[in-house]
Each structure stands twice: as structure tokens, then as C-alpha cells.
Amino acid sequence: MDKSQVRQQMKDAVATLSAAQRAAAASALTDTLWAADGLLDDLCRRRGVLLAFLPLPDEIDLRGALTHWIEQGGRLAVPVSEWSTRRMQAAEVTSLNDHEFTADAHGILEPREVQIVDPQELIGVLVPGLAFDANGGRLGRGAGFYDRYLATLPQDCVTIGVCFACQYIDAVPRSDHDWLVDQVVCG
């Protein structure tokens, strides 16, 4: 299958998940990420900045894991996008309170007050995607925002693909410009 076919297949699979299944997956993801010596527990001790996305309706909800990150004293950033150039940056946030965010023209929540974080300060990125595979292959929505941004990160920054279990597939179709993630965690 080509990328567009896999994208549609993944959108269809996620659309079949009930609200209860989505909530259970989000809870399981949070538990896995924060398990003793889990990925976020380890990253939080490093005291850098974690970049993570605020979910669109068809993405797994990370807010439980991110709230815990903030409660543990971790620095958190979320993406802000420049659609005309198809570039994104990380903007630091200190809370996930709804009133501190606004939806852009594409429905993506971004902070009302933007404080850009240098990519060199990032120690980890929770990366969204429509599909992931065991080799770190990631299929995004097709605009290339994350592929371009991940290329700017320091080598020791851990990239973690996060998704629903139904989005973890045998092989993601890839192009030369597609960026791999270091690990994948499913909820």
C-alpha cells in the first residue's frame, strides 16, 4: 500500500474506537510512559524540555502523562506551526489549562503566549503519527512538519512515537525524507 492508502486505513481504524476504548488507551499509555524507570520517568530526571503534542480528535490523548510531567517539575513545550513555510517550533508551557490555548485554523491547540524553546534544549519528543512500525517508521499527515523539525534536534534527544495499538503496523511506507523515531509506545 502507498502512503495515502495507509493513512486512510489508519483513520478508518481509529474512527472505530469507542470513547471508552480511547480513554483506556490513553490511560494505558500514561501508565507505560510513567512506569518505574519508564521513558518519561527517565527523561524527567534529565531536567531538559519535553516536546509533546496536544491531541487532535483522532489522536491518542497525552494530557494525563503531560500533567504528571509538569507536576514532577518537568519543563514542557508544545508545537507551534507556521503553515506558510510548513515549519514548526517548540513553545514552552507551564500548564495545560484550556484557557491558555487557542485552536489554529487547522484545529491544533497552540499556546496563547508563545515562548520559543531552542531545539538544543529538548531531551525528548512525543511524536504523533497515523502509523508506526517496529523500525521506527512513522507515517504522519503528509505536511512534513515533524520530519523537518526532528532533523534539527540534538543527537541525544529521544524521539518517541505514540499511538493507539491499531496504528502499530508491520511496515510503514517511507520516503528518503521521512524521519525515524527512536521508540514507539502504544496505548
CA distance 52 to 37: 19
**Domain extent listing, the chain:** 3-186
Per residue in 72-103, pLDDT (tens digit) is 999 999 999 888 888 899 999 999 988 899 88
pLDDT at 17 over 80: yes
Q: What is the pLDDT, as a whole number, of residue 166?
A: 97
Pick the CATH number of 3-186 from 3.40.50.10420, 3.40.1050.10, 3.40.50.300, 3.90.1170.40: 3.40.50.10420
Give the pLDDT confidence score for residue 144 in this predicted structure: 80
For the CA atoms of 59, 12, 171, 128, what is the dihedral angle to 10 degrees?
-10
For the cut 80, the answer to whether the pLDDT of residue 37 exceeds it is no
What pLDDT score does 84 carry? 83
